[in-house]
Structure formats: structure tokens, C-alpha cells
Amino acid sequence: MKRQWSIVLLIILVLLVGVFSVMNVDPVAINFGFTMLRVPLVLVIIVTLLIGVLIAVILSTTIILQNKSEQKKLNKRLSELEDESKKEKDELKIRHSKEVESLNEDKEKAQTKIRELERHIQNLQKTNSTKGKDEEI
């Protein structure tokens, strides 16, 4: 359906250009400074239009190529940053696991020390209670 509309618009445009051409066949003088040329007005208009289109295409192509180049640079930088981020994330995971392991070791040492101190307290309490019984006798 879209293609059909494009064809219809193209036919209308061709008809308009044809009518425009027929209406503007009068010759005009173009002075180049060193020579003078007489050409139909429609030819001057169409050539001027084509030169304008050519300039616009060249400028837009230049801009598009610059944008593509910039996009490639940005994509490369993005890829580098993603790799760097992944590397740092992996390093953080390793550091975190080492820290957790170290803290668990410290926790186990502290728990062992607590158990030793609790046993020592119990031994002291037993010793004190036996001394107290010995003194009563």
C-alpha cells in the first residue's frame, strides 16, 4: 500500500514539473562576465535546483560520516568501559569473598576463645565451690 502511494505521488510530481516546464520556456540571458548565454528559464531553475540538491547531499553525507565515526568511537569506549566494569566487579567479588572468609576465621577464633574462657570460668567456679566446702568442714 505504501509503495502504491509513492507511485501516485511520483506521478503527480512529474505532472507538476511538466506543467511548470511548459509554462516557463521563455529564454533568459545569463551573464557569466566573459560571455552571455540565453537558455530557457525552466532549465535555469532545474539546474539551480539540482546544484542545491547536490550541495545538500554532499553536506549531509559529510555529517552522516562524521556521526558514524563518532558513533564507532563511542561504541568502542562503551565496550572498554563495560570490560573495565566487569573486571572491577570480579575483583570486588574476590575481595569480598576474601573479607568474608577472614571475618569467618576471626569469628571462629573468637568463639573458640569464648569457649575456653567459659571453661576456665567453670573451672574457677568449681574450684571456689570445693574450697568453700572444704572450709566448712
Q: Are 66 and 57 in contact (CB under 8 A)?
A: no
Please name the residue ranges forming H helices in the chain: 2-23, 41-136
Mean pLDDT on 122-133: 81
Per-residue pLDDT, 89 = 96
11, 19 Cβ separation under 8 angstroms: no
CA–CA gap between residue 80 and residue 70 (Å, rounded): 15
Question: pLDDT at residue 137 above 60?
Answer: no
Going by pLDDT thresholds of 50, 70 and 90, the confidence category of residue 127 is confident
What tens digit of pLDDT does each residue of 49-101 get?
899 999 999 999 999 999 999 999 999 999 999 999 999 999 999 999 999 99
- The separation between CA 135 and the C-alpha centre of its own chain, rounded to angstroms, equals 85
Task: Provide the residue type at 48 as one letter.
Answer: T
Instruction: Reply yes or no on whether the pLDDT at 119 is more than 90.
Output: yes
Q: For residue 89, give the C-alpha cell.
A: 566487579
Decide if 41 contacts 27 (C-beta within 8 A): yes
Amino acid at 89: K
Give ∠ CA 111-115-120 in degrees, rounded to 5.
145
* CA 37 from centroid of its chain's CA atoms: 56
* Mean per-residue pLDDT, 42-49: 87
CB-CB contact of 40 with 25 (8 Å): yes
